[in-house]
Amino acid sequence: MRAVVTGGAGFVGSHLCERLLTQGHRVVCVDDLSTGRAENIAHLLDHPRFSYVHQDVTQGLEISGRVDAVYHLASPASPRDYLRLPVETLLVGSYGTRNALELARRDRAAFLLTSTSEVYGDPQVHPQPESYWGHVNPVGPRSVYDEAKRFGEALTMAYRRTYGVRTTIVRIFNTYGPRMRADDGRAVPAFVTQALAGLPLTVTGDGTQTRSLCYVDDLVAGLTTALETGVPGPVNLGNPEEVTVRELALAVREVCGSASPLTFLPRPEDDPRQRRPDISAARRELGWAPRTPLTEGLARTVAWFRATAPLPGEALPTLV
């Protein structure tokens, strides 16, 4: 199979490129490096079945030769990034998704859209099944990401119904692991870099808000399985084991062997109070469930940060 991965130099995208190569596929990685990093794919550049295209998918997606699969991951994904790039986030969710869908339509390729648990907003149903329509503030600061993904889902389904494109939608819940940017503002990299530097761990609110954290290797296994299965979705991919943000901070501190204190900051606007996926559909339709315990995943992540990531000079605010 020849697969195109938009956003392939990002945190999740680079792991997906690796998995596809391991499975024997040819991979075309497309990324403009606005939030992705060249070092994430540097070790793949000499691989005979890997190629890299520097391209902004909102401006077009011109890939020569036949394509069998399109994985559309391109988008700012951390709160710090999409709040810094609000218009760009909306454009990649609209124009970028259309261009990726057109590429799949051209070659009758399978198409997978990575949507997000953010489509559920600050949920009033817990845990969140795919049938829940969400509780989203459409004009709040986080709406640029929420609504970009909601529009992307609607456009994907329109292409499926109108043109018969073989589409799959997955909704990704909080994911962590090696290659997260230390400065992207999400909880795990912020806590890890702070703990390793001996700085206070910045917890927003009182820390009782919850998240469900899935290790990146488990997630990418779900992505490839979803496309291969061809299930239309949407399908939740995430870890149903729920932890509070305070518990997460303490777990990171223990893995790092740090004595850093916890410090508390105001919660960002529209920050979800609770987040946990109902993965019944993924178990039933994909035979998928996460396998990596949080302590094991955190140990691998911390080891990567110790080996490769620079430490911040000051405490970073945590946006989950």
Task: Classify 223 as helix, strand or coil.
Answer: helix
Query: All domains of the chain, ordered by start, with CATH?
Result: 2-175+214-237 (3.40.50.720)
b/e for 84-118, b at 16 or more Cβ within 10 A?
A: ebbebbbbbbbbbbbbbbebbbebebbbbbbbbbb
Task: Annotate 147-177 with b (16+ C-beta within 10 A) or e (fewer).
Answer: bbbbebbebbbebbeeeebbbbbbbbbbbbb
Under 8 Å between Cβ of 215 and 266: no
* Residues 114/156, Cβ–Cβ less than 8 Å: no
- What is the rounded distance in angstroms from the CA atom of residue 180 to the CA atom of residue 174? 12
Residue 116, classed as helix, strand or coil, is strand
Residue 145 is among the residues annotated as catalytic for this protein: yes
Q: How many CB atoms lie within 10 A of CB 270?
A: 16
The pLDDT score that the predictor gives to residue 313 is 43
Is-contact 36 8, C-beta < 8 A?
yes
Mapped onto helix, strand or coil, the DSSP state of residue 166 is strand
Query: Using one digit for the tens of pLDDT, what is the confidence trace for 87-115?
Result: 999 999 999 999 999 999 999 999 999 99
Which tokens sit at 108?
């009758």
Taking residues 225-244, report their average pLDDT: 97
Mean pLDDT of the residues in the chain:
94
Q: One of 52, 71, 82, 145 is an active-site residue; which one?
A: 145
Residues 180/186, Cβ–Cβ less than 8 Å:
yes
**What pLDDT was estimated at residue 267?**
84
Which tokens go with 9?
Answer: 């130099």
With 70 as the cut, is the pLDDT of residue 310 above it? Answer: no
What is the band of 8 on the pLDDT scale with cuts at 50, 70, 90? very high
User: What confidence tens digit (pLDDT) does each residue in 58-67 have?
Assistant: 999 999 999 9
- Strand, coil or helix: what is 114? strand
Within 10 angstroms of residue 18's Cβ, the number of other Cβ atoms is 20
Q: Give yes or no for residue 79 having a pLDDT over 70.
A: yes
| Model pLDDT for residues 10-38, shown as the tens digit of each residue | 999 999 999 999 999 999 999 999 999 99
Distance CA 103, CA 5 (A): 12
